[in-house]
Structure 1
Amino acid sequence: MPLRPAAPRRTGRLSWLELDSVRLEGNPLGDSHRRVHPVYLPAGYDESDRRYPVLFCLAAYTSAGPAQVNWRNQGENVPARLDRLIDEGRMPPVIVVFPDCYTSLGGNQYVNSPAIGAYADHLVDELLPEVDRNFRTIPEPAARGVFGKSSGGFGALHLAMSHPGHFAAVASHAGDCGFDRVYLRDFPVAAGVFARYNRDLEAFVRSFWRAKRPGGADFHALMVLCLAASYSPSNDQPLGLSLPFDLRTCALDEEVWARWLSFDPLVRIEQDHAHLRELSGLWVDVGSRDQYFIQYGTRAFIDRLEALGVEHVYEEFDGTHSGIDWRLDHSLPWLVARLKAASGDSI
């Protein structure tokens, strides 16, 4: 018996979809509008004219689509996990898109913002139809799903509520929720980092990308800037964003904070739950020991889903925010089972 598990008998392949984005052209961060998005094509794709349902995988903060398909020395990247799940008969073959939405602020929340770029529009207005044109998808919303972890899980919920009618099923793994419990503790840390740069936000970002060993506090400070660029853009402020706290006293700016809260799934559900009710499948899970305290807002979100009569599956597992890719073994077969499949397909 081999020490390591053998690879599946049949494996898919990656294709790289290059796309010049009109939506991202001229974005204020100067990030490239030319993106290369990995696309997983299942085993057998090249031997038939079959059409497939499609999933979009939204990466967490600090990551992007290309990182999702990188080789791993231990465990599985997402394509290897898909190969195994399909080979074991736990889910039918599916196309999976890994969008590259990385930015100079270290990641993405997948929203439209004049401070960072129109990434939600890029996904639904540009990448989605380009995937349908270039690959044998089932080109209709009933055959599309979106999933992600952390910021990617938030992005999946955001797209379902802000851009309804493009995806039929959604899975959010530890998606940002309950902002008052998740983000507030990072503000004093970020203020302390910015103080080292005389509160010059652009100087901090430039230094971050040139540092040999940026620390954990630096990553958190950069994340706060990414969140502010996403939730509270302001054309007349440095980096085109307003922070929800005072840089000297760290006192909360209630007006700016209210703009952040308007993106919180726990707040948005009150007016947008009808869009979630229209989904063929909604999966939410979170670790009971999540170190960012996302479990608390998620529990409240689930309470509201139940009170509003929105069908869903919720699982709270024994784990943290880290090392939770194994959750895809549970969510992906469930998600694909709720999508329209090609005629004759079955699990």
Structure 2
Amino acid sequence: MTNSVIFNAMRTTLLGLLITLLCTGVRAQTTVHVTLPQALADSALDGRLLLLLSQDSTAEPRFQVTDGPDTQLAFGRNVSDWEPGTTVTITADDRGYPIASLAGVPPGSYRAQVLLHRYETFHRADGHTVQLPMDRGEGQQWNRAPGNLLSTPVTVTLRADRSGPITLTLDQEIPEIEEPDDTDYVKHIKIRSKLLSDFWGRDMYLGAHVLLPEGHADHPEVKYPLAIMHGHFPADFGGWRTTPPDTTEPCVYSDRFGLDCYNRIEQQEAYDFYRTWTGPDFPRVIAVEIQHANPYYDDSYAVNSENLGPYGDAITYELIPEIERQFRGIGEGWARFVYGGSTGGWEALAVQVLYPDDYGTCYAACPDPIDFRAYTVVNLYEDANAYTLDSPFKQTERPARRDSLGHVSTTLREANMRELVLGDRSRSGQQWDIWEAVYSPVGDDGYPQRIWDKVSGHIDPRVADYWREHYDLTHIMQRDWATLGPKLRGKVNIYVGDMDNYYLNNAVYLTEQFLRSRDFGGEITYGDRAEHCWNGDPEQPNAISRLRYHRMFIPKWAGKVGELAPAGADLSSWQY
């Protein structure tokens, strides 16, 4: 070997080592030290530590981590037994969204904030010990949860050479949320669920906001049907307002609907509902919005689950009978009807299918995927990968969200990467993780088994098979139609926009194919160019129809109950 060859080889080796050292140095210097002051904690804490960076000054960074193109940056890591007075370091090895690592963040000035989403340790009845963020009255929102610790946003500079670490300090705690007060019409109920407490190994509660009919106090002998609206966590009874819109409030523009002063439109709709509810012609029923936030999400999907526990039984056999006892409900299956949109639409159909004798009718608007052959845009039983179309030579990313013209704002991969930063092991409190938590069997570690690998998107067919048999509502109806069919006839009604933002109409098409092959006696309707969450009202645009669930479905049920109620049912005393 000649000297020149040896020299060139040595030069190449040294250059490689230099590049490695430089890259390693930059990576090592991309660090953020976070201090937990002794004044904010009296014992060691567990949870998810999030670093939030933003170049948008319109809001705190904690409110700017979205799945759309306007998102800012987040980086997350778990902390365990974090002692007060000590420091935890976030490094380039910790996962980020939408930039995968701190090392990839462009140099510049950022508003920085850190937040600790606190976890509680549960010793469940199934023998597993898990750490999860218990809901604390906020509806499982990591950026608003009482007891979470955070820092005041400050401006930091990331230099091109990444010289020097950044130091941030948690300096405040999100305060508790006050319970809403009862009024003449709106009451609040909260019960300890024995079923759920036994499962979780600590006291667990179910609640509801209850809207009493006009004349309830004046007719103490009357018992009423129950109108049960399922859906996401309601801070109070949604869509109810006893005063006209507050014109002194600044107008809020709706980007989604392109409407100015949409906040006043919402207030006007809520006030109109109050006047309709108390008017002479509205059906006299008890309207209920259930509160079932839990350690995984802002509601439980109202079914029994290996990971969440027996929420279906707890709601059906503990909460609803107690509401009927306290507020004079009829207390029979025919006199309970369910409705809702999105998550609530899936729940309405699910409880009707899984508890056919306990509920009399369902109205499911824009339901979450009710057939897992169209799990939004993924066929869980045939596709190999959730994130990309199956192809030997190219990767086409699957979309997660579109507008009414089909313009895509996020992909399935992006939406799931966001969740993985906010919380691993299905603990993000977001949409894909809650589906996994509800539908999946428990893994060996006590957390939900992944339907697909969160990083690669590879689908696990064994988990998909479990989902099919337990929660694929179309499959369950088809499998059990011999016994279910007579109990569901006339009770299944589905509404969805054909441009639903999350492609939820795709599953409805498949469900419709089956139901129309049977004498199901219900209604399936599509809204032309309607987005999420159209409720079936042909007279109103999406921006209005989504605000009229009570007004839409309560009269619809009252007009049909005579066809569905058993002989001898009381259909008159509550119709004063």
TM-score normalised according to structure 2 size = 0.50
- Alignment length (residue pairs): 316
Alpha carbons of 1:18 and 1:51: their partners in 2 closer, same or farther (altered >3 Å)?
same
> In 1, are the aligned partners of 2:441 and 2:448 still within 8 Å (CA)?
yes
More helix by share: 1
Cα deviation for residue 332 of structure 1 reads 2.5
> In 1, are the aligned partners of 2:345 and 2:364 still within 8 Å (CA)?
yes
Cα deviation for residue 231 of structure 1 reads 0.5
The 5 A counterparts of 1:1-347 are 13-28=185-200, 33-49=204-220, 50-60=222-232, 63-64=233-234, 66=236, 68=238, 73-75=264-266, 83-87=274-278, 91-107=282-298, 108-176=300-368, 177-183=370-376, 184=378, 185=398, 188-189=413-414, 191-193=416-418, 196=421, 201-202=424-425, 205=427, 222-237=430-445, 240-262=447-469, 263-273=471-481, 274-275=483-484, 277-279=486-488, 281-318=491-528, 319-322=530-533, 323=543, 324-326=546-548, 328-339=550-561, 342-344=571-573, 346=575
Cα deviation for residue 310 of structure 1 reads 0.5
Alpha carbons of 1:23 and 1:81: their partners in 2 closer, same or farther (altered >3 Å)?
farther
Which structure carries more relative contact order (alpha carbon 8 Å, separation 6+)? 1
Cα deviation for residue 149 of structure 1 reads 0.9
**Aligned sequence identity (%):** 21
Cα deviation for residue 120 of structure 1 reads 0.5
> In 2, are the aligned partners of 1:182 and 1:292 still within 8 Å (CA)?
no
142-151 vs 270-279, greater mean Cα deviation: 270-279
> In 2, are the aligned partners of 1:52 and 1:342 still within 8 Å (CA)?
no
Give the AA of the match of 2:507: G
String of CA shifts for 1:162-193, please: whole Å, max 9, x gaps. 11211111110111223343344565335534
String of CA shifts for 1:8-32, please: whole Å, max 9, x gaps. xxx970111121111221555x896
Give the AA of the match of 2:436: A
String of CA shifts for 1:216-268, please: whole Å, max 9, x gaps. xxx7xx32221111111314135x20111124422111111222233122222
Give the secondary-structure state (helix, strand or coil) at the position aligned to 1:172.
Answer: strand
TM-score normalised according to structure 1 size = 0.79
Q: State which structure, 1 or 2, has the greater radius of gyration over its C-alpha atoms.
A: 2
d(CA) in 1 for partners of 2:508 and 2:268? 26
Give structure 1 stretches of 5+ with no counterpart.
1-10, 209-218
d(CA) in 1 for partners of 2:557 and 2:219? 24
RMSD: 3.1
Give the AA of the match of 2:208: H
Give the AA of the match of 1:109: Y
d(CA) in 1 for partners of 2:417 and 2:492? 39
Alpha carbons of 1:35 and 1:191: their partners in 2 closer, same or farther (altered >3 Å)?
closer
Give the AA of the match of 1:297: A
d(CA) in 2 for partners of 1:80 and 1:126? 32
Give the AA of the match of 1:68: G
Alpha carbons of 1:44 and 1:81: their partners in 2 closer, same or farther (altered >3 Å)?
same
Give the secondary-structure state (helix, strand or coil) at the position aligned to 2:224.
Answer: coil
